[in-house]
């Protein structure tokens, strides 16, 4: 992957899947494909061993471009195909794994109806930080999230090696808590550990 002089990943071109969902890094997403443009795109990504981008639709439709392309969020996540399964009715089941966050700089629809974008990759949110006066350390607050996730999905933590980071915990809880897509999108766009913790702790408080 090209890297600029500053150490940040260079801008790249990326094909996008606009969907009514939010994919987080390290999150799994099942898809059911039937449109020729997306089946062709999937074959292209598999052949060239590269990911595509998943972005949330903010207005418009997933299928069909008769009314023009849908409006999309400015931040999404790259997705790598994990496995595929043939489904009845000519559908193809695809399971993808979220990898890296990116920001859409510009996008357009090509002749095949696929949204292609110029993107820049975003840095991962840090997993730790110094305590602020009068505030518990991120490590203490992280344990609250670990306990919450252990109640919601204990098998997930059993398969995680090492100490899970704040961003990873926040993303996994966002996938499992009954919060709206706008709230999940806001969390995806956040790269401040304390702000992420504040949001997820507020969601957990509503669940108690």
Which of 161, 181, 192, 173 is CA-nearest to residue 72? 181
The H or E element containing residue 100 is: strand 91-109
The percent of residues in the chain predicted with pLDDT above 90, rounded, is: 49
CA 29 to CA 35: how far, in whole Å?
A: 18
> What's the predicted TM-score (pTM) here?
0.84
Give the pLDDT band of residue 53 (cuts 50, 70, 90): very high
Query: What length is written for the chain?
Result: 208
* pLDDT higher than 70, residue 208: no
CB 142 within 8 A of CB 166: yes
More confident residue, 143 or 184: 184
58 φ, ψ (degrees, to nearest 5): -100, -20
* pLDDT higher than 80, residue 11: no
* Domains of the chain, CATH where assigned: 12-121 (2.30.130.40), 138-207 (1.20.58)
CA 184 to CA 188: how far, in whole Å?
A: 6
CA 105 to CA 22: how far, in whole Å?
A: 18
């Amino acid at each position: 992957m090209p890297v600029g002089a500053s150490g940040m990943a260079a801008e790249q071109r990326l094909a996008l899947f606009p969907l009514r969902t939010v994919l987080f890094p390290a999150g799994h997403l099942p898809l059911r494909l039937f449109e020729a443009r997306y089946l062709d795109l999937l074959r292209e990504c598999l052949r060239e061993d590269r990911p595509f981008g998943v972005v949330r639709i903010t207005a418009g439709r997933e299928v069909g471009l008769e009314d023009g392309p849908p409006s999309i969020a400015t931040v999404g996540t790259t997705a790598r195909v994990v496995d595929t399964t043939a489904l009845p009715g000519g559908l193809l089941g695809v399971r993808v794994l979220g990898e890296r966050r990116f920001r859409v700089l510009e996008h357009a629809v090509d002749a095949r109806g696929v949204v292609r974008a110029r993107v820049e990759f975003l840095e991962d949110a840090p997993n730790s930080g110094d305590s602020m006066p009068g505030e518990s350390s991120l490590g203490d607050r992280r344990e609250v999230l670990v306990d919450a996730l252990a109640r919601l999905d204990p098998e997930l933590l059993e398969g995680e090696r090492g100490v899970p980071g704040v961003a990873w915990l926040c993303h996994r809880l966002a996938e499992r808590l009954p919060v709206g897509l706008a709230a999940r999108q806001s969390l995806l766009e956040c790269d401040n550990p304390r702000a992420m913790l504040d949001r997820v702790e507020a969601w957990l408080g509503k669940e108690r």
